[in-house]
A and B are shown apart, each in its own frame.
Chain A
Amino acid sequence: MGKEKLIRIDENTVEVPMGYTEGMNVPGRIYIDDELITHLESQAIAQVANVATLPGIVGFSLAMPDIHTGYGFPIGGVAAFDLEDGIISPGGVGYDINCGVRLLRSNLERDRVLPKMKDLVGAFYSSVPAGVGSKGRIKLSPDDEKRVIVKGAKWAVENGFGTAGDIEKTESNGCIDGADPSAISTKAYERGRSQAGTLGSGNHFLEVQYVGEIYDEAAARALGLFKDQVTIMIHSGSRGLGHQVCTDYLPLMEKTANKHGIVLHDRELACAPVHSEEAQLYLSAMKGAANFAWANRQCIMHWCAESIIKVFGGTRESLGLGLVYDVAHNIAKIEEHTVGGRAKRLMVHRKGATRAFPPGHPELPPTYRHVGQPVLIPGDMGRASFVLVGTQGAMKETFGSTCHGAGRIMSRHQAIKSARGRSIHREMEDLGVTVMSVGRSTLAEEMPEAYKDAANVVDVVHNAGIAKKVAKLKPMGVVKG
């Protein structure tokens, strides 16, 4: 239901036409092929259309091929708003502000690491707290926590968690300017206080991987990637602090939308005009939560690096341990894009979507400026994750954005039901993947078949030209919360 109204533009794109929902200001565009469209939920299409009704939206209400139903905005959604008459919406960012992914590379090869997988995964499991009730190894004083909010990953590096070189390999240098500690509630601080350097649960993970295939030799070389090389992928966010910021601001945004006469098709689309005081307050708090998330992933990566050194000996330098890149996939940012041939600053929301800036973009670190921004796409724990780079195509069509992951095809309960009588742990071992998890049912809920194959998702963005495939990463070991 709903799909019959979509108009296919080309083999990778469909349009959600004007009139799909009353009050649309622009059409929707979903990057999806004939195979993935079979998984497309009618509610997710309706959400693309609902976002198109929001004031000041520019171009299209966009969705990536990993689209699925979210709250207000679809997951996989991208929407840019005019700074004069547009809005900012916490629903376009999500509860886990700056949930994101980073990739640590080593110079270790698969054959050297394989015999020590149990030691390595065990070392990760004990060094990075995960799951319900877990407390971080860092105890932040209230003043320290405010410093994290303002400085992001820089706070972590200044306090010994990583090196200065990590900062330039992090989106926005791991810190968005303008975070205001006073815009964040006491409750948010209390939730975050013992959670810096914790993984979380659900689909968050640490994964030991090897480079299984290279699609673009030159780009892989520029990113320091080679065949059979071992990498570590880290997927986490802003933890309770970010969740509380979203929870705190939704009611205020709903009131503000009503005050400005904005019609909401869904309460979770609550929003405020960008120029309003309420929007600026949310933006200041969101920036702080985003910075907290970058500090969180920086600390987690530092402990992963320490664990690798503990298991294999040597130093960070001798083991070639270095950050490839860190990307946010739940965030709103003011960025400059070309609209109608003219440069324009826009409020770009990416909710389950990754920034994918092209070669030459001034925001890229000098080492990657000729190749484009690294884009990290986590897959399920049995098949593969991917490294891509940003393209001019993304800049032209999607406000410099691309997909963020695989997307579920089975609900958690379907997955648990399907896992009954099976040992997912043993199945993963049979696939050559060593797993450890904290939660009672995490492994069943996160089983590979619960997700779409990320390979199909990245093929769509690659073929559509909104990112370019560089390398495939195959899992060897996983820690789940």
Chain B
Amino acid sequence: MKGFEVFDLSGDLGLRIFGESLDDLFVSAALGFYSSVTDPGKILVKTEIGVSLEEESLEALLVAWLNELIYLLDAEGFLCKYVDVKSVSQRHLVADLHGEPFDAVRHECGLLVKAATYHGLSVLYDGGTWKATVILDL
């Protein structure tokens, strides 16, 4: 199963995200994000950052997760190669991000994402699969 797909949307970026478990769903969301920002194949694993989030709903948790990745990229230049989900529920997520800081020489410049939005947001469990739609403001 493909972890994510990008869908067509005026000037912004739409992501459809899939996962057999909530772990997978959050990993796919991160992969969709980083694939839009750069070529994930060129990210090396040099450092690790821990993330712990709590929100009132699964939808809000997904938006908060993507916004955390956006914040880490802006504030620390951090690009993530892979995500290790430590624990997850519909309202909390604890994960370690493994990656390295952005390097203008080695890393391709893709899209600059401002924020994950609530516009058109949905998360549902259907036929044994988690499916989410989220729109990123560019």
Residues of chain A whose beta carbon lies under 8 Å from any beta carbon of chain B? 68-69, 71-72, 95-96, 131-135, 187, 190-191, 193, 195, 200-203, 240, 243-244, 246-247, 250-251, 266-268, 408, 411-414, 438-441, 481
User: Is B10 in contact with A69, judged by CB distance below 8 angstroms?
Assistant: yes
**Contact-residue size bin, chain B (C-beta under 8 Å from the other chain):** 35 or more
Contacting residues, chain A, for B112 (C-beta < 8 A): 131-132, 200-202, 439, 481
Residues of chain A within 8 A of B71, CB atoms compared: 187, 190-191, 240, 244
- Which residue of the partner chain, among A96, A193, A250, A411, contacts B8 with CB atoms under 8 Å? A411
Q: Does B107 contact A (CB under 8 A)?
A: yes
Find the A residue at minimum CB distance from B135: A71
The answer to whether residues A71 and B38 also contact, given A191-B71, A240-B75 and a CB cut-off of 8 A, is: no
**For A408, what are the chain B residues with a Cβ–Cβ distance below 8 Å?**
10-11
- The reply on B73 being an interface residue by CB < 8 A is yes
Q: Please judge, given known A-B contacts A132-B109, A244-B71, whether A414 and B8 are in contact too, CB under 8 Å.
A: yes
A66–chain B nearest beta-carbon distance, Å: 12
CB distance from A235 to the nearest CB of B (A): 14
Contact partner, B11, options A195, A203, A481, Cβ 8 Å: A203
Assess whether B67 is in contact with A131, with CB atoms less than 8 Å apart: no
Specify which of A135, A246, A440 is in contact with B115 (CB 8 Å cutoff).
A246
Of the residues A193, A195, A268, A440, contact of B110 by C-beta under 8 Å? A440
Name the residue on A nearest B37 (C-beta).
A132
Q: With the chains together, A69 CA to B135 CA distance in Å? A: 13
Number of A-B contacts defined by CB within 8 Å? 102
**B121 beta carbon closer than 8 Å to chain A:** yes
Interface membership of chain B positions 76-108, coded 1 if the CB is closer than 8 angstroms to chain A and 0 otherwise = 110000000000000000000000001010011
Closest residue of A by beta carbon distance from B117 = A71
Cβ-neighbour of B121 out of A69, A267, A412, A440 (below 8 A): A267
Contact B117 A268 (CB under 8 A): yes
> Which residue in chain B gives the minimum CB-CB distance to A68?
B10
B3 smallest CB distance to A (angstroms): 19
- Cβ contacts under 8 Å, B9 to chain A: 411-412
The residues in B between 104 and 138 inclusive whose CB is less than 8 angstroms from any CB of A are 104, 107-112, 114-119, 121, 135, 137-138
A411 neighbours in B (Cβ, 8 Å):
8-11
State the CA gap A95–B137 with chains docked (Å).
8
Given A71-B137, A240-B74, A439-B110, answer yes or no on A202-B115 (Cβ-Cβ < 8 Å).
Answer: no
